[in-house]
Structure 1
């Protein structure tokens, strides 16, 4: 699968909004978007007006960059969401939220989704007692996600945990600090999305 290897901050500048792709750094003055809040290759204040199609495309790309997935994966998720009864846009966001790498990030064990993806790939997490190294693995209600023995000794993970007084996962996840386990209590819903997104624009983009 193709992977974006250019500077992540260029994605934020291109979209005209912070995507928080680099974790805590995005909250500091070192953030490139704070220094240069205009598109790459353009001078300050020269951002051009977008057509309706351009607005829809930008919204699609923004969400794709946030979750760090390929164009093919993104399209497949939308096709699947369109087949599920209910509101397509909300179904689509729900599928993205249920990815294992996103659950690890939402749980607060990783600073960013890209870090969470790497941790999953390196076999640092188990789902219902079995090691899972597939970032796109879909969790279900009742699933328990926990660190492996190797994961508990991982330097980066230990630093993140030690820096935080307590982990504050979203309400659809329950954290048991004694076992350091996350349990999926329910399906994530629209109110659990903590970034600005107009999923209706994505639905319009794929409906053409």
Structure 2
């Protein structure tokens, strides 16, 4: 399944607040559709599926990509759920979003794909690039790139830059100091339910 390009508020009405997907808030608190207000008892499978969908839509990854991240997280030492969130938080598009270079993760993906960002002095246009500790990020030395990043920094998607990222607003540069801690993940999610969802599928 390809990346979602439909109405974003429709997703936030069903799944709740997704800070990476959009900054807008839905006027209605119930899911869309004819039966959106009907009270239904959700099964355990439905609850796990909803948590998985939150992760997918917030970070803008496809089902195939998410399965790959699950496999990588399992291969690493420690909690699979925490490892999964760290892998997603270390994506280049998400790092640009957390730094404030873009208002949302889809906006950050476009910023990266259009070649406005460099990593360690080299232009990288792959949104899924995994940032590592010590990587130096910067906005390219172009008038359009700098104006775009400066405008976005005035109204960032999230107010606080996490401590594992060091940002210099004047130079439009940043450094990845380490891995993201679980408490700094902006998305409200139970990652263990996502791992349980894939336990029988992967």
Report the Cα distance in structure 2 between the residues aligned to 1:4 and 1:72, rounded to whole angstroms: 13
**2:114 maps to which residue?**
122
The 8 Å contact of residues 31 and 37 in structure 2, kept in 1 or not, is answered as no
Report the Cα distance in structure 2 between the residues aligned to 1:163 and 1:139, rounded to whole angstroms: 24
**2:8 maps to which residue?**
8
**1:131 maps to which residue?**
123
The 8 Å contact of residues 13 and 32 in structure 2, kept in 1 or not, is answered as yes
User: Could you tell me how far 1:152 is from its partner in structure 2?
Assistant: 5.5
Runs (5+) with no aligned partner, structure 2: none
Q: Secondary structure at the match of 1:11?
A: helix
Q: Aligned to 1:205, which of 173, 178, 197? A: 197
CA RMSD of aligned residues (A): 1.9
Larger relative contact order (CA 8 Å, sep ≥ 6) = 2
User: Could you tell me how far 1:162 is from its partner in structure 2?
Assistant: 4.3
- Residue by residue over 1:66-98, the C-alpha shift from the partner in whole angstroms, topping out at 9 and shown as x without a partner, is 001101001100011000011100000000000
Give the length in aligned residue pairs: 197
**1:159 maps to which residue?**
151
Report the Cα distance in structure 2 between the residues aligned to 1:73 and 1:183, rounded to whole angstroms: 26
Pair 1:172 & 2:164 matched:
yes
Runs (5+) with no aligned partner, structure 1: none
The 8 Å contact of residues 38 and 47 in structure 1, kept in 2 or not, is answered as no
User: Could you tell me how far 1:6 is from its partner in structure 2?
Assistant: 1.3
Give TM-score scaled by structure 2 length: 0.90
**2:175 maps to which residue?**
183
Report the Cα distance in structure 1 between the residues aligned to 2:152 and 2:68, rounded to whole angstroms: 33
Report the Cα distance in structure 1 between the residues aligned to 2:6 and 2:50, rounded to whole angstroms: 18
User: Could you tell me how far 1:151 is from its partner in structure 2?
Assistant: 6.5
Pair 1:55 & 2:41 matched:
no
The 8 Å contact of residues 151 and 157 in structure 1, kept in 2 or not, is answered as no
Report the Cα distance in structure 2 between the residues aligned to 1:80 and 1:51, rounded to whole angstroms: 28
